[in-house]
Homo-oligomer: A and B are copies of this chain.
Amino acid sequence: MDHQEKPTRQRRSGGKGNNVKADLIAVVVAMNNSVPCVLTIPQANALPSGPFELAHRSLQSGLRGWVEQQTGHPLGYIEQLYTFADRDRIGAEERVISISYLALTQIDDAGAAAKRSWASWYDYFPWEDHRSGAPAAVLEDLRPRLREWADSADEKAMRLDRRRRTAVAFGFDDRSWNEEFALQRYELLYEAALVEEAVRGGPSAAPTPVAGKSMIADHRRILATAIARLRSKIKYRPVVFELMPPLFTLLQLQRTVEALSGRLINKPNFRRLIEQQELVEKTGETTAETGGRPAQLYRFRHDILDERPVAGTKLPLMRA
């Protein structure tokens, strides 16, 4: 068959009425000694972003351009997060489509000059850090207010549903904490009007929002999406290494994973996992900077990148 330029779609409601603007938004993540950080534009309290333009070769290159221009920071690994039409602008004459990306880099010394533009992501989501156990201060504030919100529903079914969702998301009622539910948690807090974004523009007598810095527009929601994605992805793809320096110890690697996932990892088991996966190799060098016995320095085996079978199958597929 020979496909020339056949019309792709059935109908076109032509004219320029349906043009949109496309924005590129970046969640740039890097580690700063065991603190997972996100690159921000402090003046605007926003993530780096900018419009997609004709001059851009591709969406990704457009994004790289904006981030480098706004922050002076070049990007390495990039992956698309999600695309959404800005809800706030419904009814406006022109709509904006936002295409968000997750980028992973390292904070180099040059960039350290503008260091203040890196913010810990737990400043925005204090309830997400469970490395020292569940953060009692935040959660004991949240729990009753979420409960109150759940009980304020008119119908019984709705009340039960809200309770179940909060319990699942936050690990209440003997349920286990799942760090990957970061987005669901933020959305629940939004729904319950417990974050500043949800009461924006409303009466100033609205209840005090919970702890955690907010961001412009829905940038904090995008950050939550990025956190959830990253927490999920480190489990089946070796993306952590994008955040590591060329040489590192296994404990440094562990601390990075712990910082991202927001929970502690069993040390011997982590070492076993890393070593049996053959993702890293010893350099022979050691470092004494870690305090106790000098640690082996490892490097990531780049050659293995695409080889891994992605994930452990959860289906009893038969082997060839």
Contact = CB atoms under 8 A, between A and B. Distances in A.
Interface string A27-53: 000000000000001001110011111
A176 interface: yes
A178 B51 contact: no
Interface string A304-320: 00110111111111111
Nearest to A61: B85
A246 interface: no
Identify the interface centre among A16, A85, A90: most chain B CB within 10 Å of its CB.
Answer: A85
B53 A18 contact: yes
Classify the interface of chain A: helix, strand, loop or mixed.
loop
A3 B216 contact: yes
A290 interface: no
Given A10-B41, A49-B9, A266-B316, A196 B3 contact: yes
A176 B318 contact: no
A180 interface: yes
Contacts of A41: 10
B83 A9 contact: no
A261 B6 CA distance: 32
A75 to B, nearest CB: 17
Interface residues of A, number: 94
Contacts of A214: 1, 3
A8 B80 CA distance: 20
A320 B19 contact: no
Interface stretch (A106-114, A118-126, A231-239): A231-239
A18 B51 contact: yes
Contacts of A145: none
A210 interface: no
B50 A235 contact: no
Given A10-B41, A49-B8, A176 B320 contact: yes
A18 B23 CA distance: 10
A101 to B, nearest CB: 10
Contact of A178 (B168, B236, B309): B309
Nearest to A133: B320
A196 B1 contact: yes
A133 B134 CA distance: 49
A217 interface: yes
Interface in A186-221: 196, 200, 213-217
Given A1-B213, A3-B214, A57-B90, 4 more contacts: A3-B45, A9-B23, A178-B309, A232-B311
Interface of A: 1, 3, 6-13, 16-23, 41, 44-46, 49-54, 56-59, 69-70, 80, 82-85, 87, 90, 93-95, 97, 99, 130, 133-134, 165, 168, 171, 176-181, 184, 196, 200, 213-217, 232, 234-236, 257, 261, 263-266, 269-270, 272-273, 306-307, 309-320
